[in-house]
Chains A and B, each alone.
Chain A
Amino acid sequence: NAGVMQNPRHLVRRRGQEARLRCSPMKGHSHVYWYRQLPEEGLKFMVYLQKENIIDESGMPKERFSAEFPKEGPSILRIQQVVRGDSAAYFCASSPLGGGNTEAFFGQGTRLTVV
């Protein structure tokens, strides 16, 4: 049973380019979360999605960032016009249930470097 799959593992973008991060949840999981970890920091919640729905995006920056979880295919976190401050590790997690009182399973992360 494959775990949460994220790709790419490493992504380098020049300032102003777009970054697309993909996440395939564990089989049977319909709840996906995205987190960002800056250096020397804990993980910060960004967005919570179910299939075709954004449930909570309260942690997502208002501009340049968007997320989707289509009916078919992986969840995508999209960052437009990247800036140096977007450099971070982005982790996706999935769970079989929502509601918060359940453990989430994390992918290995995508390390975004903006040069």
Chain B
Amino acid sequence: DQQVKQNSPSLSVQEGRISILNCDYTNSMFDYFLWYKKYPAEGPTFLISISSIKDKNEDGRFTVFLNKSAKHLSLHIVPSQPGDSAVYFCAASGRGSGGGADGLTFGKGTHLIIQP
């Protein structure tokens, strides 16, 4: 049972435009959410996170929005740059969430392609 879902396997966006990556979750015990970026043959790199007590967190070109009632979060990248082309993973954690006491539960990832 997939507790963190990224329903778009891939997304293509023109350079300079906004990239919006979506993530849905089903486990109401999750209280912390993270986005990781991954290049081929490398480990995931932390991008940005948000606690369930907030609905928005911004860091430079990256903004994460959390809608708890809809169990939905999104990552906005603006403006999109060629170096942003990578696989983006949504992850969640929370006490009692079942993902390991303090482990992360990951989605399957969205492959973002930035076109020139």
Contacts and interface: CB of A to CB of B under 8 A. Distances in A.
A101 interface: yes
A101 B34 CA distance: 9
A37 B59 CA distance: 28
B34 A103 contact: yes
A33 interface: yes
Q: Secondary structure of the B side of the interface?
A: loop
Contact of B100 (A33, A41, A108, A111): A33
Contact of B93 (A43, A46, A100, A105): A100
A48 B91 CA distance: 16
A74 interface: no
A79 to B, nearest CB: 18
A42 interface: yes
Interface in B71-97: 89, 91, 93-95
A48 B101 contact: yes
Interface stretch (B11-19, B42-50, B61-69): B42-50
Contact of B108 (A33, A42, A103): A42
A62 to B, nearest CB: 15
B99 A45 contact: yes
Interface of B: 4, 6, 31-32, 34, 36, 41-46, 49, 51, 89, 91, 93-95, 98-109
